[in-house]
Amino acid sequence: MQSNTYTKAMNEALDSCLKKDKSVFVIGLGVPDPKGVFGATSGLRKKYGPKRVMDMPVSENALTGVCIGAAINGMRPVLTHQRVDFSLLALDQVINNAAKWYYMFGNQQSVPMVIKLTVGMGWGQGPQHSQNLQTLYAHIPGLKVVAPATPRDAKGLIISAIEDNNPVIFIDHRWLHETFGPVPEDHYKVPIGKANVIKKGSDITIVSTSYMIIETMKALNLLNELGIKPEVVDLRTLKPLDEKTIFNSVKKTGRLLVTDLSHREFGVAAEIISRVSENPKIKLLTSPQRITAPDFPAPSSPALSEHYYPRYTDIALKVVEMLEADKDRLAKLIARDKESNKIPHDVPDDRFMGPF
Amino acid sequence: MPPFLLLYYYVLLYCHMMKKQNLISLYKKLILIRLTEEAIALKYQEREMRCPVHLSIGQEAIAVGVCENLKKDDIVYSTHRCHAHYIAKGGDLNRMMAEIYGKVTGCAKGRGGSMHLVDLEAGFWGATPIVGNSLPVALGVAFANKLKGNKKAVAVFIGDGTAEEGVFHECLNFAVLHKLPILFVCENNLFSVYTHLKERQHTRPIYKIAEAHGMEAYQKDGNDILEVYKISSSIIDHIRKGQGPAFLEFMTYRHREHCGPFYDDQLGYRDQKEVKYWLKKDPVTNFKKYLLDHKVILETEMEKIKKEAMGKITRALDFAKKSKFPKQEKDFRKLIYAK
């Protein structure tokens, strides 16, 4: 199997859908420009022409409505925004129309469209270029929300989202774009609404999403050295939520930690913890915990952002605390890690040069 | 008589007949809408229609004059004040009444109410009650028509308040940019609820904004059904030929309160001179007079048309009242997600 970046995987998915179905079109600010939405749309205009791969006026609200109308009228639009934050201009169309159309007109017309959003992080993105608003969209009945963490899932979920007959919010993360992984070459689907147990374990269930999967897996390296074996559930889809996979894992481990970069209050983690807590068949050995972004906007300065985002060390510390394991040994492992890893906190890797 | 002269007479006769039939057709729709709205106003007080209603009384000529020029598979979108547009486009009256009564036989299965009328078969693809909200959706339908290369036209009805929304300007720009086959129909009734246009917009006419965006745009008397019909006929022709979008601003006035069955001029928010002026310009009374004066139709025929309309309305009310209420579904996922 070929190995590819997350961005290339998204590009392959769009390419494959454009090729397979004439009703698919991709539209968004910068879609055909030289940067091609971080590479996700690169080369597509040349292949499919300006009627199927297009730029748009800086009119997020109207163009969301236009995509809804086009979807109702037989097309399958993919609308992209280079930041989640920009999609807020279109909340009227997303929440009042896309999400409700199928229900409010008596199940006569559906809205098969995808809105692809990117979460920014680090490099001084600040309060309006790095919001994690998955909770906001996941709150709205009628929407589906996916946030894959791996290149393979990114490709398979874009294809599923485009072929779904409902509006799907697809959320990728800037720090996942350059991550590498196996990606099948064919046109395949990863089902919407199915979580994935990416690491089997027995001591604790860590439910995680999107970029936090990367931090969780880093935490696992430390925890394994301490002899702790967590089970990791990658949600992949936030709505509709795959309760079953979460419940089965927590029934086995008896402990639950949720990590997600939404704000803490009323967030994704809050929802998962409450669903597990509501389930009378689950007996927890210790109170469930969450690791999230704090309840204030993300600051720009590197001096401030260093303390803003939870990292793998926070996850490892929380797990050790929940299991009442050896804190001192973990502290030594973290110190060792910091000594060997000098990558600044505000970039995903050493090569990252910004600017956004 | 030479054959060419005979042909000439036939053509003349045919044109005259067409015109007469057209005029009567306009009248039939006009009176059906007026009587439907009056019936709703009356029945509303029984408190069985348990949803907001925004009556079109006073503004019917625009709906009829525009929609008479549309084909069945042309698409119309509308707003909270949608009854006239729905009926004028050929929407099913029984299902409209049932929707207002919240019944399962309603055009949206009782989920939308008066402000969410829809009849796909008639080409009335929906109404939504947020100012400017259905506008870009209509534009998207026109965009898809253009991408698919068909000749269907889209007409979207909006009010004067929509011109104050950002999405209005976004849509005009996009429509011109892609030369989309869409007609914007602005019913300017001077009021947004209780607030006069003067308090909301600069004195420049609304159609000038569309003109500045680079499309054909006109302002006409929306209470003169023949004027509405004529301008719509030529402008829809222009759109169908692929010459780009167009904008029609029609000046009009609602007779009753913004929302509900009553008159509300005791509140004092409208200038009484203005009210009197517009009541004199009532589109139904004036068109009736025109038809009688020009001997297009006899008073007795008119009465017959009115009776037929009343019959339809009575049957629709009966259908709605006798229909069942929708049942609460247990699995809500089936209702919110398409397969």
Q: Do B106 and A108 touch (CB under 8 A)?
A: no
Helix, coil or strand: residue A92: helix
Mean pLDDT of all residues in A135-141? 98
CA angle B91, B93, B94 (to 5 degrees): 125
Domains A3-182 and A196-340 share a fold: yes
Rounded-to-integer distance, Cα B229 and Cα B250, Å: 11
Q: Do B167 and A61 touch (CB under 8 A)?
A: yes
Mean pLDDT by 10 residues, chain B (339 residues): 64 62 96 98 97 98 98 98 98 98 98 98 98 98 97 97 98 98 98 97 97 98 97 97 97 97 96 97 98 96 98 98 95 94
User: What was the pLDDT predicted at B334?
Assistant: 92
Q: What is the pTM of this model?
A: 0.96
Q: Active-site residues of A: which are they? A: 60, 129
Q: Where are the domains of chain A?
A: 3-182, 196-340
Q: Where are the domains of chain B?
A: 24-257+270-324
CA angle A204, A211, A171 (to 5 degrees): 120
Tokens, residue A252: 């086995």
Among B171, B332, B337, the strongest candidate for a mutation testing the A interface, having the largest count of A CBs within 10 A, is B337
Residue B72, CA distances (Å) to B62, B68, B117, B122 in order: 18, 10, 17, 6
**What's the fold here for domain B24-257+270-324?**
Rossmann fold (3.40.50)
CA angle A137, A138, A140 (to 5 degrees): 70
CA B174 to chain centre: 24
Q: Is the ipTM value over 0.90, yes or no?
A: yes
Q: Do B335 and A72 touch (CB under 8 A)?
A: no
- Asked if B107 and B326 count as a contact pair (C-beta separation under 8 A), the reply is no
Cα end-to-end distance, chain A, whole Å: 31
**What's the fold here for domain A3-182?**
Rossmann fold (3.40.50)
Distance from CA of A94 to the nearest CA of B (A): 11
CA angle B113, B305, B55 (to 5 degrees): 25
Residue A33, CA distances (Å) to A56, A176, B8 in order: 11, 21, 61
Cβ-based contacts of B113 with chain A (< 8 Å): none
Mean pLDDT of all residues in A173-185? 97
Closest CA to B254 of B189, B161, B157, B163: B189
B136-178 confidence digits (pLDDT tens): 999 999 999 999 999 999 999 999 999 999 999 999 999 999 9
Amino acid at B14: Y
Q: What kind of architecture, by CATH, is found in domain A196-340?
A: 3-Layer(aba) Sandwich (3.40)
- Asked if B186 and B206 count as a contact pair (C-beta separation under 8 A), the reply is yes
Closest CA to A96 of B116, B14, B320: B116
Helix, coil or strand: residue A327: helix
A2 CB-near residues (< 8 Å, 6+ apart): A182, A183, A184, A185
